[in-house]
Each structure stands twice: as structure tokens, then as C-alpha cells.
Amino acid sequence: MRDIRVYLDQPLVTGNVIDLPDELVRHIGGVLRLKPGESLVLFNGLGGEYRAQVETLERRRGCVLIGEYDPVTRESGLHTRLVQALGKGDRTEWAVRKGVELGVTELVPLITERTQVKISEQKNNQRQRRWQSLIIAACEQSGRTRLPLLRAAVTFDQWTAQQRSGERLILDPRATKPIGIDASVTEVELLIGPEGGFSTPELELAGQRGYQPVSLGPRVLRTETAPLAALALLQTQAGDWGR
């Protein structure tokens, strides 16, 4: 039976009994159906994980005993920064969840010329909270022990104007160079366009700012499919899939 893994945003110390927040009590008791005496795995996103045991689980209160610490890591040695254009419906959420499963290190929501999603401060804050919960759930499911960094939504011009280390790639189905990095690369940034792709001025600006246009082959992939294919290739070429 697969271990039940739960993220807890607080310090964890072997031997301590800690009270669980209300939402986690409801999740453990109502969704996961755990009972006192049963075990689970806790992690706080800072690396490693802890064995734990449910001590008390009532309607409005629950506590767990923190057990042995395991310094396990399941993070890729390849630092991947996914800069994903906002898509309609649940497309961005899909890319976020699957990107976390594939080992992405940073997630950056991108506002482009062809972004069709309405942007407001309130909506953006709601999205950030929703995406953070998706990141946590994907880490719980996939066994990751560190939470990827979720950055605030940013415009194409603002983001590409910044100088960062590592390889910088921008997906363009018209590019002649296939996506790929050398096995020695330890950091890579990947720009994914929205429905309709990046505009010509955006592609030209990215080129001027040091981004390499690359292609995923002869077929045009959807905005939520492209990052998954690209991340899988990068993990195979320089990440933990190829080692």
C-alpha cells in the first residue's frame, strides 16, 4: 500500500506531538479516512520527510506524533524554470500539476500579447492561491519533498528583460532547431506560449534578449501539452531521468 503523504507548513521535530490545522483535520479524517493509530508521512517542503502516527482525530481536533526523519530527496539535479503563458479554462492548472510531477523547480505565470485571460489583482491573487494548493497536492502525490517556487504573474517584456543564469529556451513550432541541452547543463528556462503562440514581435524580442528558439517537432502542441513534452525531454537529457 502506498504511503499517504501530507504537507504541513510548520517545523517538524521527531518525538513531538503537534496539533493539526482545521483544514488538515477535515482532509485526513473526511477524505483520507485515517483513524487514530494509523500512519502517514509528513513533509514541510524543506527537504526530507517524517514518519508520523495519528494520535487523536475528532471532528474539530486532531494531532499526530512525529516519528523518524528520512533525509530522502526526489528532486532533479536539473533546475528547471517553467515560464508558462496563462491559458483559458483549466489549461494552466493542468500544466502546473503535471509540471510539478515532472520535477519543475520554478513556475512563472506569463502574460503575453495573445493571452486571452482577464487579469485583475483580485483574480490574480485567487489564481496564486489555487495554483499553490495544486503544487502542494502534486508534491504529496508524486513524493517530492521540496515545493517548487511559484512566482507572481508577470508580463512577457518584464520577464525577458531580466538576466538569469542557465540555458534559456523559447518554444516556437517554426524553429529549425529541435529542443535539446547538453548533459552538463544544470539550469534551464523554458518559455511556453498561449493559445495561438507567441507573436512575431515577442519572438524577435526574446531572440534579442538571449533566448534560443526551439521546436518540439513537426506537430503543433497545445499550450498545456508542450511543457510536459519539453520537460520530459530535458529530464532525459540532463535531469534525473538520464542518470
Helix-helix angle 121-142:91-101, to 10 degrees: 30
- Domain extent, residue 107, equals 79-242
Element housing 97 (H / E): helix 91-101
CA angle in degrees (0–180, nearest 5) for 51-94-230: 95
- The average pLDDT across 46-74 equals 93
What residues form DSSP beta bridges with 70? Answer: 49
**pLDDT tens per residue, range 187-206:** 999 999 998 899 999 999 99
Same domain, 123 and 164: yes
Gap between the Cα atoms of 192 and 190, Å rounded: 6
Q: What is the CATH number for 23? A: 2.40.240.20
Give me the chain's average pLDDT, please.
93
Same domain, 88 and 208: yes
200: phi then psi, degrees, rounded to nearest 5: -60, -45
What residues form DSSP beta bridges with 65? Answer: 17, 53
Same domain, 109 and 188: yes
Return the pLDDT at 124: 74
Confidence of residue 212 (pLDDT cuts 50, 70, 90): very high
Domain boundary among 32, 47, 70: 70
**pLDDT tens per residue, range 116-167:** 777 666 677 888 999 999 999 999 999 999 999 999 999 999 999 998 999 9
Domain boundary among 42, 70, 98: 70
Same domain, 43 and 110: no
Same domain, 32 and 104: no
